[in-house]
């Protein structure tokens, strides 16, 4: 296990007794007093591995990027409360904080913005890739393919051990992901691709890439810009989740940054992870179309014979209200109020939350709304199509993935990710000749 800043394993020892023999295991304590038993030498010393399906209780690394306390509903990036960051920073500033570990000075932030602005276009040959995708391709599939393909265009910056090459790849990725994402939408509706406009902010530029058409002027709505900025910030990192762990795992083989991020996008796509925002809105729509019978769906989610789950509910780590959901719900209320909009899905969501939070099934299992529960309602209000919701999550999560990939490569403790297993298959048996097989 690594000994990153703020970690100590000097004083405490855990003892494990197996087959009458006692083994001492170092205890690692984090800066917020989280405790872990370091089992890296256990197999060597005792002949045992640990077994933990789904990594329910396994720390894969030490990390100084994001702290979350699932019981208290606390989330901090680099020590700063998510609520403070959401109120005072923009997404690019948050990205800098996550990746470089400190809040930027005005000059540092200007330089960072400037560099990202200069890389927003994608290679013209890359634009032609989009002609090869079916019109109805899911944009997450396009996103991961095109991000992976960046490694074919930028072969000059693939070495994970060359700091200069890593820097340029980071800036290219942050700059190009919104362009790549917006083109997948334009492709799906048959509209021409817009070029990025570098005098616009990150979020303004993305909205323009998505919604502008050559025949009309387009001015992004400042309320949409602010809402998008907030949503990207609250999605920016969440420590060792499925996609981030994927990015670290792929990166641990020394695969380049583009390949690692492309793998992370695939992991995010699943409906138990980032795909939950799309699945959640589809579920809310289904409930609304079904006469808003919220109780029926709560009952279905409780029924172990049904595969149905309340999407946007529950979390591996949060056993109280997800702080990101609190921020998003407030923003949702504000945006709909400002636009004088009523969205029946927002009403269904609020009702569903109310009923579920009083139900003993959800109370006992500590299942609360998560980040994906209300985000889709805001995206809908902004006119974003439902298939793009998880893409928006990916744009938001990008700086977190990058920060973890960089941290992993900077740690002396990093080894290729390679879990072990307990084999439960057949013992050695003689090969059956074809004529005797049944």
Query: Which residue numbers are catalytic?
Result: 315, 372
Nearer to ligand CMC, 148 or 369 (CB): 369
Nearer to ligand CMC, 225 or 377 (CB): 377
Site for ligand CMC contains 381 (CB under 6 A)? no
Beta bridge partners of 68: 75
Rounded distance between C-alpha atoms, residue 40 and residue 421, angstroms: 15
97 neighbors 77 (Cβ within 8 angstroms): yes
Contact with ligand CMC (CB under 6 A): which of 370, 376, 377, 408?
Answer: 370
Phi and psi at 54, nearest 5°, equal: 70, 10
Nearer to ligand CMC, 264 or 312 (CB): 312
């609304």: which residue's tokens?
288
Site for ligand CMC contains 328 (CB under 6 A)? no
Restricted to residues 293-322, the positions that interact with ligand CMC (CB under 6 A) are 301, 309-316
> Least distance (Å) from ligand CMC to the CB of residue 362?
7
> At how many degrees (to 10) do helices 389-410 and 139-153 cross?
40
370 neighbors 314 (Cβ within 8 angstroms): yes
Restricted to residues 404-423, the positions that interact with ligand CMC (CB under 6 A) are none
Contact with ligand CMC (CB under 6 A): which of 241, 244, 260, 375?
Answer: 241
Residue 321's H or E segment, with its range, is none
Count of residues near ligand CMC by CB under 6 A: 20
């583009």: which residue's tokens?
258
Site for ligand CMC contains 237 (CB under 6 A)? no
> Least distance (Å) from ligand CMC to the CB of residue 272?
4
Helix, strand and coil content of the chain, in percent to the nearest 5, comes to: 55, 5, 40
> Least distance (Å) from ligand CMC to the CB of residue 388?
16
Task: Sort strands 66-69 and 13-18 into parallel, antiparallel or unpaired.
Answer: unpaired
> Least distance (Å) from ligand CMC to the CB of residue 58?
13
> Least distance (Å) from ligand CMC to the CB of residue 425?
25
Restricted to residues 330-369, the positions that interact with ligand CMC (CB under 6 A) are 365, 367
Side by side, the strands of the sheet bearing 74-77 are 66-69, 74-77, 80-81
Q: Residue 59 corresponds to which tokens in the numbers above?
A: 């720390």
> Least distance (Å) from ligand CMC to the CB of residue 339?
26
Contact with ligand CMC (CB under 6 A): which of 92, 116, 371, 398?
Answer: 371
Phi and psi at 222, nearest 5°, equal: -60, -30
3-class SS of residue 394: helix
Nearer to ligand CMC, 175 or 352 (CB): 352
Instruction: Name, in order, each residue with C-beta under 8 angstroms of 376's C-beta and a sequence gap of 6 or more.
Output: 277, 278, 280, 281, 284, 312, 345, 386, 389
> Least distance (Å) from ligand CMC to the CB of residue 235?
9
3-class SS of residue 162: coil
Piece in contact with ligand CMC (CB under 6 A), picked from 122-130, 325-333, 370-378, 401-409: 370-378
Contact with ligand CMC (CB under 6 A): which of 273, 329, 380, 404?
Answer: 273
Restricted to residues 76-115, the positions that interact with ligand CMC (CB under 6 A) are none
Nearer to ligand CMC, 272 or 363 (CB): 272
Angle, alpha carbons 391-394-400 (nearest 5°) = 170
Angle, alpha carbons 50-56-58 (nearest 5°) = 50
Binding mask 2-41 for ligand CMC (x = CB under 6 A): ----------------------------------------
Residues lying near ligand CMC in the complex (CB under 6 A): 54, 241, 272-274, 276, 301, 309-316, 365, 367, 370-372
């Amino acid at each position: 296990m690594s000994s990153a800043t703020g970690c100590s394993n000097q004083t405490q020892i855990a003892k494990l007794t197996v087959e009458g023999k006692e083994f001492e295991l170092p205890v690692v304590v984090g800066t917020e007093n989280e405790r872990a038993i370091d089992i890296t030498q256990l197999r060597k010393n005792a002949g045992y591995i640990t077994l933990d399906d789904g990594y329910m209780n396994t720390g894969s690394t030490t990390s100084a990027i994001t702290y979350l306390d699932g019981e208290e509903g606390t989330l901090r990036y680099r020590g700063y409360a998510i609520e403070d960051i959401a109120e005072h920073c923009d997404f690019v500033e948050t990205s800098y904080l996550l990746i470089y570990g400190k809040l930027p000075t005005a000059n540092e932030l200007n330089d960072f913005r400037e560099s990202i602005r200069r890389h927003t276009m994608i290679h013209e040959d890359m634009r032609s890739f989009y002609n090869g995708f079916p019109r109805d391709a899911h944009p997450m599939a396009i996103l991961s393919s095109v991000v992976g393909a960046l490694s074919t265009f930028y072969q000059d910056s693939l070495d994970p051990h060359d700091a200069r090459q890593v820097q340029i790849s980071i800036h290219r990725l942050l700059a190009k992901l919104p362009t790549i994402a917006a083109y997948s939408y334009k492709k799906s509706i048959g509209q021409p691709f817009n070029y990025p406009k570098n005098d616009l902010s990150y979020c303004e530029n993305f909205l323009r890439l998505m919604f502008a058409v050559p025949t009309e002027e387009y001015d992004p709505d400042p309320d949409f810009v602010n809402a998008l900025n907030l949503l990207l910030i609250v999605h920016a990192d969440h420590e060792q989740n499925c996609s981030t762990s994927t990015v670290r795992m792929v990166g641990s083989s020394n695969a380049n940054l583009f390949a690692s991020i492309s793998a992370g996008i695939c992991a995010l796509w699943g409906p138990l992870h980032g795909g939950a925002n799309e699945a959640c809105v589809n579920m809310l729509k289904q409930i609304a179309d079904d006469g808003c019978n919220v109780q029926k769906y709560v009952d279905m989610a409780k029924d172990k014979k049904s595969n149905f789950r309340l999407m946007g509910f529950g979390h591996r780590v949060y056993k109280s209200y997800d702080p990101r959901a609190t921020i998003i719900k407030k923003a949702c209320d504000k945006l709909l109020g400002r636009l004088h909009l009523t969205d029946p899905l927002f009403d269904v969501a609020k009702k569903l939350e109310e009923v579920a939070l009083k139900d003993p099934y959800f109370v006992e299992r500590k299942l609360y709304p998560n980040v994906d529960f209300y985000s889709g309602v805001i995206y809908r209000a902004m006119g974003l199509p439902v298939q793009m919701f998880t893409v928006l999550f990916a744009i938001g999560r990008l700086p977190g993935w990058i920060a973890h990939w960089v941290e992993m490569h900077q740690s002396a403790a990093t080894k290729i990710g390679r879990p072990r297993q307990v084999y439960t298959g057949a013992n050695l048996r003689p090969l059956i000749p074809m004529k005797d097989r049944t």
